[in-house]
């Protein structure tokens, strides 16, 4: 397999308006949804494609109400970076599974307070 580091590479740019940012977010969201079956097969994930798409939706919904244009641009950049690294197979299985960790293992969730984490012996 030939490694092509420029595969899926795009230029970093700023959005001109919220309408432009909205179009870019929708485009990125659709790219992620279309890539879900490929991600499942590449990383041999033991979960249905619908669960992967649900997690993608949750990640996008987490930042739904961001109101600063520059923050949206940074989030889009980070999303595309994750997309490129995932589809170029530059990640290991554990990097992909970290997004699903809290659903699978309830103990993996971070403690609510510092004291609770300290008493549990977590760093």
Sign of the four-CA dihedral 37, 41, 43, 49: positive
In a domain, 52, yes or no: yes
So what's the pLDDT on residue 3? Answer: 66
Can you give the pLDDT at residue 109? 67
How many domains in the chain?
1
Q: Please report whether residue 8 resides in a domain.
A: no
Residue 32's alpha-carbon distances to 16, 55, 119, 120, 122, in angstroms, are 23, 11, 39, 37, 33
The pLDDT value given to residue 1: 53
Q: Is residue 71 part of a domain?
A: yes
Could you report the average pLDDT of every consecutive run of 10 residues in the chain (123 residues)? 73 92 96 96 93 95 95 96 92 90 64 80 63
Q: Which domain holds residue 96?
A: 18-120
Q: Torsions phi, psi of 45, nearest 5? A: -75, 135
Contacts 24+ apart (CB under 8 A), 19-24: 21/69, 21/72, 21/73, 21/76, 24/76
What's the pTM? 0.78
């Amino acid at each position: 397999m030939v490694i092509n580091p420029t595969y899926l590479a795009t230029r970093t740019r700023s959005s001109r308006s919220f309408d432009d940012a909205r179009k870019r977010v929708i485009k990125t969201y659709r790219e992620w949804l279309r890539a879900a079956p490929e991600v499942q097969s590449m990383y041999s994930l033991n979960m249905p494609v619908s669960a992967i798409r649900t997690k993608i939706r949750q990640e996008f919904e987490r930042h739904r109400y961001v109101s600063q244009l520059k923050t949206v641009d940074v989030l889009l950049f980070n999303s595309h970076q994750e997309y490129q690294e995932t589809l170029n197979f530059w990640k290991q299985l554990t990097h992909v599974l970290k997004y699903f960790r809290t659903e699978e293992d309830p103990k993996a969730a971070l403690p609510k307070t510092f004291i609770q984490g300290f008493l549990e012996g977590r760093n």
